[in-house]
Copies of this chain bind each other. A is one copy, B any other.
Amino acid sequence: MTTQDSTLPSSRPETAIRVGLMGYGRAGREVAGQLLSDPVVQLQWIVKRSAGESTHPGSNVPVLGGDQLDIARLIGEKPVDFVVDFSLPDACLGYAKTLAKKGIGIISAVSAYQARHLNVLKQAGQTTVVMHSPNITLGINFIMIAGKILRKLAPHAGVEIVEEHFKDKTEVSGTAIRLAQALGLEPAKKINSIRVGGIVGRHEVIFGFPFQTIRLIHDSISRAAFGQGALFALKQLQGKSPGFYTMEQLVSEAFSVALKEAI
């Protein structure tokens, strides 16, 4: 912990946020890079699935792994304020209680949770700050909230979703399903899935009026956007009471504040 600097603007925490990262796959690597790029965040360690120990390229952040890893001991040796999870669903079963007991925050962007995983995280939310969302990009959550508002403003407008992804993504986009649910649309009827080539990810919500059309479009350029979302969440969760939050809630709150300033 560094000493307090009273000259910093109030929206910046006076001290660094110490973070541990679970998951070191394609998303995890990009997220690590983003966490390292932010002056307020101090990435302390990364946990990967396979055994072995190395450091993240261009840094001295240790990348640890293997079945023998003891999360309690790791936290004792290299304390963190938050754990950010981009690994697999079962990981939370191993760390949730330990982190909850110590009041360490949890940000999970794992997308394939079942009820038992969510229950464990909600339980942890009783004693620490927990946030989970399958898509934590600012863009998707912004479109979700703006879209929900437009639905209320114009309930008679027709709405459909188009999602485009690389050809090997066989299932319907989980983000599109979440968007559909948020907008009160039946996913099976209102989601149109395009699968061609190497499209990273594009989500479009089309609102059709008799004489005008509104389109809200999100284009993903790289998975590093998830790291930006994690940074946004880390900052928004500062000072929050224990509880179970979603990215949509965090963005909604910031949205409300911004709306008051904007009008």
Determine whether the beta carbon of A158 is less than 8 Å from that of B255.
Answer: no
Q: Which residues of B are found within 8 Å of A150, using beta-carbon distances?
A: 142, 258
Q: How far, in angstroms, from A152 to B210 measured CA to CA in the complex?
A: 31
Determine whether the beta carbon of A152 is less than 8 Å from that of B262.
Answer: yes
Determine whether the beta carbon of A215 is less than 8 Å from that of B219.
Answer: yes
Chain A residues with a Cβ under 8 A of chain B: 137-139, 142-143, 145-146, 148-154, 157-160, 162, 164, 166-167, 192-200, 206-225, 227-228, 248-249, 251-259, 261-263
Q: Which residues of B are found within 8 Å of A152, using beta-carbon distances?
A: 257-258, 261-262
Q: Which residues of B are found within 8 Å of A257, using beta-carbon distances?
A: 152
Determine whether the beta carbon of A214 is less than 8 Å from that of B221.
Answer: no
Q: Which residues of B are found within 8 Å of A259, using beta-carbon distances?
A: 145, 149, 252, 255-256, 259
Task: Looking at the assembled complex, report how far the CB atom of A95 sits from the nearest CB atom of chain B, in whole angstroms.
Answer: 27
| Nearest B-chain residue to A198, judged by Cβ | B210
Determine whether the beta carbon of A224 is less than 8 Å from that of B196.
Answer: no
From DSSP, what is the main secondary structure of chain A's interface residues? mixed
Determine whether the beta carbon of A221 is less than 8 Å from that of B196.
Answer: no
The 9 closest A-B pairs by CB, nearest first: A197-B208, A196-B208, A158-B196, A152-B258, A211-B225, A148-B262, A192-B192, A215-B217, A252-B263
Determine whether the beta carbon of A228 is less than 8 Å from that of B211.
Answer: yes
Cross-interface CB contact of A209 among B139, B146, B249, cutoff 8 Å: B139
Task: Looking at the assembled complex, report how far the CB atom of A229 sits from the nearest CB atom of chain B, in whole angstroms.
Answer: 9
| Nearest B-chain residue to A224, judged by Cβ | B211
User: Known contacts A197-B221, A209-B228; can you find 16 more A-B pairs with CB under 8 A?
Assistant: A138-B153, A139-B212, A139-B213, A148-B258, A149-B262, A157-B196, A158-B195, A197-B209, A209-B225, A212-B219, A212-B225, A214-B217, A215-B215, A216-B216, A248-B263, A256-B263
